[in-house]
Amino acid sequence: METKKNYIAWTIRIIVAFLFILSAVAKLSKSHLFDSPYFAISTFEVKQLYSMGFSQSIAPYFSRTLIGIELALGFLLLQKHWLKKFIIPVTILLLVVFVGHLTYVTFLSGGNSGNCGCFGELIPMTPIEAIIKNIIAIGLLGYLYYLLPKEALEKHNFWVLTTVLFATILGIFMLAPIQPVAQEFVNVPVDTVINDTTSITVEPLDTISNKVISLIEVKKDSVKNIDSKVKEIELVNANEPKKVKSGFAKFYPKIDTGKQLLCFFAPGCDHCKETAKELTEMRKKDATLPPVSIIFMNEEAFLIPDFFKAAGANYPYKVIEIIPFWNVLGSNRNTPGVNYLWNGNEIIFYDGIDDKKFDGKNLSTYLAKTKEDLKK
């Protein structure tokens, strides 16, 4: 009987320890294990901690400490010191806090969408799924507490706990060192010239207007002619959305003029490459496709030349740091991102690889819509 209890207890310890270790490792990964820890932690901070009210100066310390604690608990569940008296109760308490937070987030959002961040971007999990997972873990730990022998029989070397805890936290800080507050732009050449032969230049409406007016000979007896041209220009303006500020002019000064496609890519992202390639194919078929401009995340920036080779064309681009990139893109959005702007108005924003992912045919439909069609 004791052998069976011991077997069940060890099974539970291994399962829960694995969940905690996986949770910590996943927060250090993006889509592959041990791939760019700083990128993964920065993403976790922006998408999870910022929304909870953490400032940009506090979030880096909290994220690394939390990951270190998760990793430490995973290891400590597999040893004998203070297991029943301290480790299991603390682990249950942490899970209860997680459940409370996820329940609150789900209540505020009014649904069960998005990634809770429990396993970072490596294993997306909805809040409800995370709550269920945590409740099951709490139940297993409660049963483990019942199965374990009396506290007096366990070992009580507190230095084992502190050593493991500080070692894991310090290890996380060393693996992903905190960087100075990022500047928005990276100090590298940030513009390229489009060499795609299918590319065209769409002149701003203001430029067209000036050219029309400059062709008219301004004479006293030609006032009616000028008025006619001005009315034509006003008619063009009437068929377009009112010009607004998109907030992206600091990257591209003319982005709020006419139809524009502003893309948000990571240089090493395969889905981003496929999206850029699809845009290139669309440009080859339709020379009137709006100009494409790119904002790259400064993560694997050395891959940008390879990115354009895969895309089949070069496009103007800017490179900005990871955290500012997520702030500009939006913490609720993912790469690849494609924003169709018309006079600064956001017509449609494609992002990620799920239900909002980029769809070339859908974009063509939106590009063909008039101002009145968009209101419907």
Return the sign of the alpha-carbon dihedral for residues 156, 159, 160, 165.
positive
According to DSSP, residue 295 is labeled E
pTM above 0.75, yes or no: no
Cis peptide before 336 (omega within 30 of 0): yes
pLDDT beyond 60 at 229: no
Mutual angle of helices 37-44 and 322-329, in 10-degree steps: 40
Strand partners, 351: 337
Q: Greatest CA span in the chain, whole angstroms?
A: 110
Residue 191 above 80 pLDDT?
no
pLDDT digits (tens, 9 = 90+) for 271-329: 999 999 999 999 999 988 999 999 998 878 888 999 999 999 999 999 988 888 888 98
Q: What is the DSSP letter of 83?
A: I
Lowest mean per-residue pLDDT among 38-52, 96-110, 188-202: 188-202
Q: How far apart are CA 136 and CA 105, in angstroms?
A: 19
Alpha carbon separation from 1 to 8, 10, 83, 205 (Å, rounded): 11, 14, 21, 84
Is pLDDT of 223 > 80?
no
Percentage with pLDDT > 70 across the chain = 77
Residue 195 has pLDDT above 80, yes or no: no
d(CA 23, CA 318): 33
pLDDT at 222 over 60: no
Percent of the chain whose pLDDT exceeds 90: 46
